[in-house]
Amino acid sequence: MTRKLFGTDGVRGTANTWPMTADMALRIGAAAGRYFRNDGSNGHRVVIGKDTRLSGYMFENALTAGLTSTGMNVLLLGPVPTPAVGLLTTSMRADVGIMISASHNPHQDNGIKFFGPDGFKLSDEAEAEIEALLDGPIEPAKANNIGRAKRIDDGRFRYAERVKSTFPHGMRLDGLKVVIDCANGAAYKVAPEVLWELGATVIPVGNTPNGFNINDGCGSTNTRTAAETVVSHGADLGICLDGDADRVMILDENGEVADGDQIMALMAARWAAQDRLHGGTLVATVMSNLGLEQFLAGRGLRLERTAVGDRYVVEAMRRGGWNLGGEQSGHIVMTDFATTGDGLLAGLQFLAAMIETGQPASALVRQFDTVPQLLRNVRYQAGAQPLTAPAVAQAIAAGEARLNGAGRLLIRKSGTEPLIRVMAECADEGLLVQVVEDIVAAVEQAA
């Protein structure tokens, strides 16, 4: 069964434009309700969280209407990080969790992503079955079986306590000055609170959301403001989250950035030394730098690569029994603690490493030398299929021939935006640029 509506991370698009309309959200809610309330009883629950986008109000109400119309009881969490939805879906014994967010995308976009009763993101198969229900009539519940909706006021506090419990017992952040960039998103309250409660001097950035400024000049995709704040305040560390706080970038005391690959390298090496890294394996996507793979191999560890998307990382981790994985973009998944990527949790683990080693962030953020990597994104119009164009196929084949085993080439469609991502790695930077630019030019022409 194929999926057309769902991408690599739920349904996503521009608000009030198909498929992200109120009408479609209501139908998706009703389809999900029909799927999960499969025994007709009235005891089924769904928890709904959201980030700070203006359109979140609209989608929250539409989903609630669709779900309750099929007899589901809805628990509304308000603005909370995506990992909080995974956690609370399980702890509140819900059948399904829903996060309303477009993650790192700008405010005009929004998305709907699902978690199963185990707190993990729904499989492709389950999403396909929900999508199939949209093609037919949704059976509404009888009038006396309509679901109820209830607002849960302490969701973020429950999440905060869980995150703090992952920090080493008895350890405190006293004496450390931490810049936390919340991307004007879902963690704008909880992230500064957690750091302060653990003893840090907290300097918040991007913590004044207004519905339009999520990820705008801040967060994990734009670390400049946070880096300047780290340097100007003499901070020990910067933690930059994205709009739904499931990914992170770390800044050292000089404002230098460590991406997900460097964070995973640090954690894998430390966990392996502590005999905590299951199977001696780290799971990451095809986008992770070749330098990470070489770093792990030098320590007798292995890298298991997956398709792009943290859901595929988690699926591989669960199949293999591995407990650490993530993406270069900053999703860090630690299944000992959480069911999905958690930027705040990863930031706390980095802080714990600083305290335990007695080293500054600058000594920890650069675990390996990266192989030169170049990524270019080419936007295309809806309906276009640039990767099927013969000229693009020829450019890709020529690029692979020029690299001739000396590097890696990866061309793929984004699962969340209308973009073709062209990525290559090669020690020869001149050749790297030529190969990528030739392919980009062909894709642009076809798009």
Active site amino acids: 103
Tell how strand 45-50 and strand 96-100 pair up.
parallel
Rounded Cα–Cα distance for residues 183 and 52 (Å): 10
From the CB of residue 288, how many other CB atoms can be counted at a distance below 10 Å? 25
User: Rounded CA gap, 441 and 221, in Å?
Assistant: 25
> How many other C-beta atoms can be found within 10 angstroms of the C-beta atom of residue 283?
29
The answer to whether 358 and 346 have CB atoms below 8 angstroms apart is no
| Residue 322 token pair | 């591995």
Place of tokens 């650490």: 324
CB 90 within 8 A of CB 134: no
Strands 407-413 and 419-426: antiparallel
Nearest CA among 374, 368, 346, 369 for reference residue 432: 374
Residue 264 exposed, middle or buried by CB count within 10 Å (0-12, 13-18, 19+):
buried
CB distance 99 to 50 below 8 Å = yes
Spell out where 17-81 has E strands: 45-50, 73-79
What is the sign, positive or negative, of the torsion defined by CA atoms of 410, 121, 386, 420? negative
**∠ CA 297-303-307, rounded to 5°:** 150
**Which ranges constitute the DSSP H helices of 329-369?**
343-357
